[in-house]
């Protein structure tokens, strides 16, 4: 009886080793690895983006509070419209003239864009981000 049990275990071990070798050969196949990784990637994208794809279909539970962002952007634009903006415009303009005098026309053009950009930045923000007003609360 003991010999029969050992023989059954030995046959099972041999069978498992053969299957393990076959599985290792399959897993070492490069095309199998690539197709497996592709399938895993597609599954991650499909199951990971399901909740994001339905975000516009039902009312969102999350309310977005952008008061801090509005305050920060208003402060930065206030600085650029005040004395700091004038300083940036003057320095960029003078530097553009000096760069053009030395033949650095790319730098001169870049500095000219900086000088004009400091002057019209609030209008650019309103235009490109479709904002009606950008004033902090309480002002």
CA–CA dist 67, 12 (Å, integer): 69
CA–CA dist 122, 77 (Å, integer): 6
Q: Are residues 80 and 41 in the same domain?
A: no
Q: Are residues 49 and 75 in the same domain?
A: no
Q: Are residues 47 and 81 in the same domain?
A: no
User: Which pLDDT band holds residue 102 (cuts at 50, 70, 90)?
Assistant: very high
- Section 67-76 average pLDDT: 83
Residue 119 in domain: yes
Percent of the chain past pLDDT 90, that is, above it, reads 17
Residue 94: per-residue pLDDT: 93
The pLDDT of residue 98 is above 90: yes
Percent of the chain past pLDDT 70, that is, above it, reads 73
Quote the number of domains for the chain: 2
Q: Are residues 124 and 71 in the same domain?
A: yes
Tokens of 121: 């930045």
Least confident of 2-6, 81-85, 86-90: 2-6
Residue 122 in domain: yes
The pLDDT of residue 95 is above 80: yes
The pLDDT of residue 113 is above 80: yes
Q: Are residues 72 and 114 in the same domain?
A: yes
CA–CA dist 2, 19 (Å, integer): 26
- Section 116-129 average pLDDT: 82
- Section 102-127 average pLDDT: 87
Tell me the residue range of the domain where 91 lies: 67-129
Q: List pLDDT tens digits, range 14-25.
A: 776 677 666 666
What pTM, to 2 d.p., does this model score?
Answer: 0.46
Inter-residue contact 102 to 37 (CB < 8 Å): no
């Amino acid at each position: 009886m003991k010999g029969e049990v050992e023989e059954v275990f030995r046959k099972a071990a041999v069978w498992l080793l053969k299957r393990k070798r076959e599985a290792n050969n399959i897993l070492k196949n490069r095309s199998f690895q690539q197709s497996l990784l592709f399938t895993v990637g597609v599954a991650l994208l499909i199951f990971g983006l399901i909740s994001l794809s339905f975000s516009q279909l039902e009312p969102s539970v999350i309310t977005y509070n952008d008061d801090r962002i509005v305050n920060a952007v208003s402060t930065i634009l206030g600085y650029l419209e005040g004395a700091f903006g004038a300083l940036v415009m003057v320095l960029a303009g003078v530097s553009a003239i000096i760069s053009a005098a030395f033949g650095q026309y790319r730098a001169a053009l870049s500095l000219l864009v900086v000088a004009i950009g400091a002057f019209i930045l609030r209008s650019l923000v309103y235009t490109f981000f479709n904002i009606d007003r950008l004033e902090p609360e309480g002002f």
